[in-house]
Chain A
Amino acid sequence: MNFKRDILLIDTEFSGFNFPKKHDLLQIAAVLLDKKTLKEKKFFDTYVRPTNWNTRDIASMKINKISWEMVKDAPPLNIAIKKFNRAFPKNVIQAFYVGYNDKRILLEAYRRAKIKWPFDYHYFDLWALFYGVLAKNNQLKSKKDFAGFGLEYLIKKFKIKINKNQMHNALVDCRLEAEILRRVIADGRGSL
C-alpha cells in the first residue's frame, strides 16, 4: 500500500487532562514511517519540564509512570515544541491512536510556544482503522473491551513481544502502534 505521504505517528504523555491550567504535557514522541514500506525513517523523543508538578493527577501519573527525576532537567514546553517542529517534514499524515487528547494538547502546546500549527488538520485515528478492519473480518470479539478490541488484544493477536512495564512510554507506544499498523496492513485482510 502506498500511503502517498509518510506517516508521522505521534504519542504524548501528560499529567492530566486540564492542560495548560492545571496539568502539563510531560513527553512528546513520534516516529516517521515510510509511505511505502511503513518502516521507521526517523524518531523523536523528549520529556518536557513541568510547571504544574504539584497539581499532577495521580491516576494519570500511575499510567505514565513519569517521575520528577525524569523531567526535572528536560527542556521547557516552548523549546520542546520548537525541537519537535524542526524534527520532521510537514507534508506528512499525522497519526494517533485514539488521538483526541493528544491532538488537542499538542495544538494548545503549539499555541503557547507561539508556533503556527504546520500540519494538515486531518489525522489518522489508528484505533478507527483497526476497528474497521476487525469489524469487516468479524474479529470484534474481546468482551472486556468496550468496542470489541483494545491494544492488548491486538498485541496478543499479532503475537508482538513487549515488556508491559514499558507501555505508556510515548516512544514505546509509538513503535508498538507502528508495528500493529504494519501487521494489520500486511495481514492481507488489512485492506478495507
Chain B
Amino acid sequence: MKFIKDILFFEIQTTGHDSDKDAIIQLSAVLLDKDNLLEKNYFNSFIRVSYLDSVINEHAKILHTDYETLRKSPKVYDAIKSFHKKFGTDLLLATHSSNNLWFLKNAFKKAAVTYDYDYHVIQLWTLGYIYTLNYGLNKMPAFQTFLDYFRLKQKTPYDMLEKVRLEAEVFRKIIREV
C-alpha cells in the first residue's frame, strides 16, 4: 500500500462530552510513516486548564495522575503550539470519532493558533464498522469492539497515548489484513 501523506492519529481526554463547554486535558498523537505505517514520532501532554486547586485535583483524578504533575503541565496555548510545531501540517489527521476533531479545533481556537490542517480526516470508526460488518459483527461497534476483534488489549484505559497507539494498530490491521 502507498499513502500520499504521513498520517497523524490523535486522541484526547476531556472534561466532558460537549466540545463547546468542555476542554481537552490530555492530547496524545502518533505520526505514521506514509510508506510503512510505522510510528515515526509521537506527542503526549497533559493540559492544565485552570489555576484553581479544586479543578486541578478534579482533572488529575480523571487522568489518574497527581495534582503536582498536572499543575506543572502546559496550558492549552503551549500544548497546542508544541503539537502544531512538532508535526507541521503536511499530513493527514486521523482519529477514532469526529467528536475528537471538534474538540481539537476548539482547542486551537482557545489557544489562538491557526488550525491549518487539510479538512479531510480519517475517521477510524467508519473503517472499523465496515470491516467488522464484513466479518459478521452485528452490533454498532465501539472502540472496544475493534480491540476485541483484533485481540488487542488496552492495559490502562485512561492513558490516551496507549489508546492512540492502539487506534493506529487497528488501522494497520484493517488496511493490511485480508
* A122 CA to B174 CA, complexed, in Å: 19
Interface bracket on B: 20 to 34
Known contacts A98-B119, A122-B140, A125-B98; decide if A192 and B4 are in contact (CB<8 Å). no
A128 touches B1 (CB 8 A): no
Query: Please, which residues of chain A bring their CB within 8 A of the CB of B4?
Result: 140, 146-148
Fill in one digit per residue for B100-133: 1 if any A CB lies within 8 Å of its CB, else 0: 0110000000000000001111111111011101
A192 pairs with B130, CB closer than 8 A: yes
Name the residue of chain A whose CB is nearest to the CB of B141: A122
Considering only CB atoms, which chain A residue lies closest to B176 in the complex?
A136
CB-CB under 8 A for A4 and B175, given A104-B102, A138-B1: no
The reply to whether A140 and B98 contact each other, CB–CB distance below 8 Å, is no
Contact with B along A100-144 (1 / 0, CB 8 A): 100110000000000000001111111111011001101010000
Query: Most chain-B CB neighbours within 10 Å: which of A99, A120, A124?
Result: A124
Q: Is B138's beta carbon under 8 Å from chain A?
A: yes
User: Which chain B residue has the least Cβ–Cβ distance from A133?
Assistant: B130
Residues from chain B with Cβ under 8 Å of A123 in the complex = 98
Known: A103-B98, A140-B3, A147-B4. A128 touches B123 (CB 8 A): yes
> In the docked arrangement, what's the CA distance between A135 and B122, Å?
12
Contact of A3 with B by CB under 8 A: yes
B32 to chain A, nearest CB (A): 12
B140 touching A98, Cβ below 8 Å? no
Q: With a CB–CB cut-off of 8 A, which chain A residues contact B92?
A: 146-147
Q: CB-nearest residue of chain A relative to B2?
A: A138
Asked if A1 is at the interface of the complex by the 8 Å CB criterion, the answer is: yes
A191 within 8 A of B: yes
Question: Across the two chains, which residue of chain A brings its CB closest to B90?
Answer: A146
Number of interface residues of A (CB under 8 A): 30
Most buried by A among B99, B127, B175: B127
Identify which of A1, A121, A131 contacts B133 (C-beta below 8 A).
A1
**Interface residue? B44 (CB, 8 A):** no
The residue that B134 contacts in the complex, of A1, A125, A127, with Cβ under 8 A, is A1
Q: Are A127 and B120 in contact (CB under 8 A)?
A: yes
Residues of A contacting B1 with CB < 8 Å? 135-136, 138
Bitwise, A157-192 to B at CB < 8 A (1) or not (0) is 000000000000000000000000000000000011
Q: Are B130 and A125 in contact (CB under 8 A)?
A: no
Contact assessment for A131 and B122 in the assembled complex, using a CB-CB cutoff below 8 Å:
yes
Q: How far is the CA of A177 from the CA of B125 in the complex (A)?
A: 19
Closest B residue to A137 using CB positions? B1
A sample of 22 inter-chain contacts (CB < 8 A) reads: A1-B133, A1-B134, A3-B133, A4-B138, A4-B140, A98-B121, A122-B125, A123-B98, A128-B122, A129-B130, A131-B122, A135-B2, A135-B3, A136-B1, A146-B4, A146-B5, A146-B120, A147-B4, A147-B120, A148-B4, A148-B5, A192-B174
A146-B120, A191-B178 provided; 18 other pairs, C-beta below 8 A?
A1-B133, A3-B133, A98-B119, A99-B98, A100-B119, A104-B102, A124-B126, A132-B126, A132-B130, A135-B1, A135-B2, A135-B3, A140-B3, A147-B118, A147-B120, A191-B134, A192-B130, A192-B174
Q: B residues touching A (Cβ–Cβ < 8 Å)?
A: 1-5, 92, 97-99, 101-102, 118-127, 129-131, 133-134, 138, 140, 174-175, 178
10 closest A-B pairs by CB: A148-B4, A125-B123, A128-B123, A192-B131, A132-B127, A128-B126, A146-B118, A124-B126, A191-B134, A125-B126
